[in-house]
Structure 1
Amino acid sequence: MDRPVHITHVPRRFVIHEWGGTETFVSEVSIRLKQRGLVPSIHTTKALDPTKDGSYRGIPIRRYSYSYPYLGLTESDRQQLDRKAGNLFSWSLLLALLRLKPVDLFHLHTGKRLGGIVRFCALRKRIPYVVSLHGGYLAVPTAERETWTDPTRHAVEWGKMLGMLVGSRRVLDDASAIICVGKDEYDAIRTRYPDKKVVHLPNGVDLERFGQGQGDSFRGLYGIPLDRFLYVTVGRIDVQKNQLAVIEHLPTLLEKVPQAHVLLVGPVTNSGYRDKIVALAEKLGVSDRVTMLHGFAYDDTALVDAYHAADCFVLPSLHEPFGMVVLEAWASRLPVVAAKVGGLQALIDDHVDGLFIEPGVSADDPGGLATAMVALAQDSSLCARLANAGYRKAQQRYSWDHITDELIDIYRGAYAHTVH
């Protein structure tokens, strides 16, 4: 056998109703691994989903109890940690992975204590594990990194011994391969770990699924007039995604594009930030030009319809490891406006398949968000050119079949060097 057959994915969470990029990657590659004769499964925690056993599109899922080893956390703190970057621990997952048979390779999709659990189990079972860095590890702005620990700021941590037990600080050191979704992360990891197998493997997109949608019906369902020029942004309602910037620029935008309307789609991972968005829209008198929908399940056709209801896609993030939603916008044949940050800089070619904006500049700045949004509303030929170029790039470079084949090669190499 020249490749591992039984692949166990271990993400920190796998939640249908609050879907994110990790869930998309795990599910899409698992479906295609199964089609290629492998046997994938998902083992995760009950974070945001108390269901123990289940499946998603034919892929079995096992969920385990967990805890946050801190004193003084409120229920609100725990929920916020569940949604983003919570450093949890699960004894039941550790025991289950130690007993799990058959398994040839672990594919880890997180780090910290949970990553340490997978490392601990892999070393004792003498099988390889690979790590995917989805949300950034080294290439993360300091301001964003600090938000990850906000819920624990006033709590007392007692879990450091647990991390030492499972070797949580050696998760990357002992991995057979480190897979980076974003190019900036890949460059940083290669510099930090020059002797490790480090691979840049981006996310993909289902071109067939996002190719057709019911945009007019979506507008009718949510009360968005057909004559509005609709800008959509898809992503968690969170400081990192910077949706507030779109609202700040909306009055300037409306002066030049009177039919402008903004659609924000995504689960709320920061309720305080959501409240700021609502309050600012009311203060600026633009609430009637903003529609906020708290996300759809990934397999809900409404997500595709939301893209097809729009005229333009906007991603003003302060940091973005990759930008899977850009691929979805391209697959939906939308022109893209995006911040020149993180992995987006390697994904998008400025003025070829998207328009870059500098995050944090004023509405009147030539490199600002409003300027780019106005340009697309006033130039249909520019919209078409960017959208068509984006679709071609998605088609040529980012199919899930291509991504899965590359992933199998990574598995094969890890398996050969570790087991044989």
Structure 2
Amino acid sequence: MLSWEYPPRIVGGLARHVHDLSVALVQQGHEVEVITADHAGTSELDTKDGVRVHRLKMYSPQPLDFLDSVFQFNLNMMEKVVGLREKGVDFDIIHAHDWLVAYAAKALKHAYRRPLLATIHATEYGRNGGLHNPLQRYISSVEWWLTYEAWHVICCSDYMYNELHQFLQVPEDKLTVIPNGVKAEDFLPNAPDPAEFRRQYAAPDEKMVFFIGRMVTEKGVGVLIEAVPIILSRYPNCKFVIAGKGPAQDYLMRRARELGVYERIYFTGFVDDDVRNNLYHVADVAVFPSLYEPFGIVALEAMAAQVPVVVSNVGGFAEIIQHGKNGLHALPGNPESLADNILALLLAPGLAAKLKERAYREVIEQYNWSRIARKTVEVYAKVLNEYENTPWEGPLTPPQIEEQLLLSRVASFFSRYRGRYQSTGENLLEQLLKK
């Protein structure tokens, strides 16, 4: 597994996805090696739940910009794999998660003649509603390149299936939809006194509406802020708890002041898993008004925590939540629609109870990691069968020159995609291979 984030380094849903999938694969008898970025307080090699996690200790100079750091990260990732190979560690398949590991994934695929599988969790085009600057276009081209190099591509929803097929031109027979999942046992409350915990955020007689996610435009937090005065005009006894951090946070807080509702909103900033779980369990409604959502793992989290859910009718949310059956849909980007659906749950406790009960049952039956791991193994088996029956271009690489091929391919790659990295790639890997 190649992933730029892995717990305890958690930026978005990708980290938990890779972790839970890896653990489930090990539980089913498979061996999993995860190569990922370093994180403060962690060791270089950590084995937990049977998963061997190799974290990249960055001893090289700090890169000057974002793309520099991505290239350096991929070089370190290749260095780690070469070292593991020298120690006798082998692998049957390379599973890459998103574009940030594409460079290493491609080089390792061709150097070691192993099939590459890619999971695309989101696209740059979808995140930004288009490609508006050179960096976004560059990232999108790397996403296309990763899906081109991959033997097979996994995505998390029919929405993402269509996006990858239509925008990145991934052939339909190369795509498989496997949803994300959650472990319901990970969302149990642990507050000694739930009522006392709740009083930190809302008065006992106030209803609580809860959002958790990154403070970025695509998550639709601004839509929720605009909906707050509409809700308060009809249900004044309500508090809104917004958890998470991100570049839009200052703007959102300023906008709340402009609307005169800042005192009714609790901006918590980042919260850890324990606080998140307790907030889910004391909330009356969980709301996720995303403008773009490839899957929407937070909806599953809320369902697992047995809190009724309102989501925008976009992307993966539209597939997970069935309006009136296991949650409610709001029109994307529409504060009035969002307010109406939140109020529907606040004003009808019986409806809220029915929806959350059905939602919890679906999480247990359909979105468990054991089922997801089995489906992933089916894709692995299909890829390996095709791999074994398809002659690779050129002869198999003799073991004694594997690393030399890796060196030449990395140097060629950096020369092709960013010429100023050619010498860096050569020097670093030459030193590496002489160790």
Q: Establish whether TM, by shorter chain, passes 0.5.
A: yes
Cα deviations by residue, 1:259-293 (Å, 9 ceiling, x for unpaired):
11111122x231xx100111122222322221122
Alignment CA distance shift 1:67-1:385 (3 Å): farther
Deviation at 1:322, TM superposition (A): 0.4
| Match among 352, 357, 371 for residue 402 of structure 1 | 371
Q: For residues 56 and 290 of structure 1, what CA distance do their matches in structure 2 show?
A: 41
- Aligned pair count reads 379
Cα deviations by residue, 1:328-359 (Å, 9 ceiling, x for unpaired):
11111111111111121222111211211112
Check whether the contact 2:93–2:116 (CA below 8 A) recurs between aligned residues: yes
The reply to whether residue 111 of structure 1 matches residue 99 of structure 2 is yes
The reply to whether residue 53 of structure 1 matches residue 44 of structure 2 is yes
Q: For residues 210 and 55 of structure 1, what CA distance do their matches in structure 2 show?
A: 24
Alignment CA distance shift 1:362-1:337 (3 Å): closer
Check whether the contact 2:240–2:264 (CA below 8 A) recurs between aligned residues: yes
Letter of the aligned partner of 1:288 in structure 2? E
Letter of the aligned partner of 1:311 in structure 2? D
Check whether the contact 1:139–1:185 (CA below 8 A) recurs between aligned residues: no
Structure 1 residue aligned with 2:315: 342
Give the SS at the match of 1:115.
helix
The reply to whether residue 131 of structure 1 matches residue 124 of structure 2 is no
Deviation at 1:50, TM superposition (A): 8.4
Structure 2 residue aligned with 1:62: 54
The reply to whether residue 383 of structure 1 matches residue 352 of structure 2 is yes
Q: For residues 91 and 134 of structure 1, what CA distance do their matches in structure 2 show?
A: 23
**What is the 5 A alignment of 1:61-80?**
61-64=53-56, 65=58, 73=65, 78=66
Structure 2 residue aligned with 1:3: none
Letter of the aligned partner of 2:320 in structure 1? L
Deviation at 1:304, TM superposition (A): 1.2
**What is the 5 A alignment of 1:313-352?**
313-352=286-325
Structure 2 residue aligned with 1:232: 210
**What is the 5 A alignment of 1:171-190?**
171-190=146-165
The reply to whether residue 193 of structure 1 matches residue 166 of structure 2 is no
Structure 1 residue aligned with 2:8: 16
Letter of the aligned partner of 1:108 in structure 2? A
Q: For residues 67 and 354 of structure 1, what CA distance do their matches in structure 2 show?
A: 49
The reply to whether residue 120 of structure 1 matches residue 107 of structure 2 is yes
Cα deviations by residue, 1:304-346 (Å, 9 ceiling, x for unpaired):
1110010011001110010111011111111111111112122
Letter of the aligned partner of 2:275 in structure 1? A
Letter of the aligned partner of 1:96 in structure 2? K
Cα deviations by residue, 1:245-265 (Å, 9 ceiling, x for unpaired):
212221121111111111112
Give the SS at the match of 2:148.
coil
Q: For residues 385 and 177 of structure 1, what CA distance do their matches in structure 2 show?
A: 40
Letter of the aligned partner of 2:164 in structure 1? I
Q: For residues 60 and 330 of structure 2, what CA distance do their matches in structure 1 show?
A: 41
Q: TM-score, structure 1 length as denominator?
A: 0.81
**What is the 5 A alignment of 1:274-293?**
274-293=249-268
Structure 1 residue aligned with 2:75: 91
Deviation at 1:232, TM superposition (A): 0.7
Structure 2 residue aligned with 1:6: none
Letter of the aligned partner of 1:119 in structure 2? K
The reply to whether residue 36 of structure 1 matches residue 28 of structure 2 is yes
| Match among 182, 186, 197 for residue 218 of structure 1 | 197
Give the SS at the match of 1:337.
strand
Q: For residues 187 and 257 of structure 1, what CA distance do their matches in structure 2 show?
A: 40
Deviation at 1:170, TM superposition (A): 3.1
Alignment CA distance shift 1:260-1:417 (3 Å): same
Alignment CA distance shift 1:207-1:70 (3 Å): closer
Letter of the aligned partner of 2:55 in structure 1? R
Give the SS at the match of 2:147.
coil
Alignment CA distance shift 1:195-1:233 (3 Å): closer
* Unaligned residue ranges in structure 1 (runs of 5+): 1-8
Deviates most, 189-198 or 129-138: 189-198
Q: For residues 88 and 146 of structure 1, what CA distance do their matches in structure 2 show?
A: 26
Alignment CA distance shift 1:19-1:70 (3 Å): closer
Structure 1 residue aligned with 2:403: none
Percent sequence identity over matched residues?
25
Letter of the aligned partner of 1:259 in structure 2? N
Runs of at least 4 residues off by over 4 Å? 48-52, 66-71, 86-89, 137-141, 145-150
Check whether the contact 1:28–1:400 (CA below 8 A) recurs between aligned residues: yes
Q: For residues 305 and 46 of structure 2, what CA distance do their matches in structure 1 show?
A: 28
Check whether the contact 1:333–1:391 (CA below 8 A) recurs between aligned residues: yes
Check whether the contact 1:202–1:403 (CA below 8 A) recurs between aligned residues: yes
Deviation at 1:45, TM superposition (A): 2.8
Q: For residues 174 and 324 of structure 2, what CA distance do their matches in structure 1 show?
A: 34
The reply to whether residue 252 of structure 1 matches residue 227 of structure 2 is no
Letter of the aligned partner of 1:236 in structure 2? R
Q: For residues 311 and 299 of structure 2, what CA distance do their matches in structure 1 show?
A: 9
Alignment CA distance shift 1:275-1:109 (3 Å): same
Deviation at 1:381, TM superposition (A): 1.3
* Unaligned residue ranges in structure 2 (runs of 5+): 390-435
Structure of higher RCO (CA pairs closer than 8 Å, 6+ residues apart): 1
The reply to whether residue 202 of structure 1 matches residue 190 of structure 2 is no
Please give the root-mean-square deviation of Cα atoms over the aligned residues, in Å.
3.2
Check whether the contact 2:224–2:335 (CA below 8 A) recurs between aligned residues: no
Letter of the aligned partner of 2:120 in structure 1? L
Which has more helix, going by share of residues? Answer: 2
Deviates most, 314-323 or 352-361: 352-361
| Match among 301, 316, 332 for residue 274 of structure 2 | 301
Give the SS at the match of 2:291.
coil
Check whether the contact 1:178–1:199 (CA below 8 A) recurs between aligned residues: yes
The structure that has the greater radius of gyration is: 2
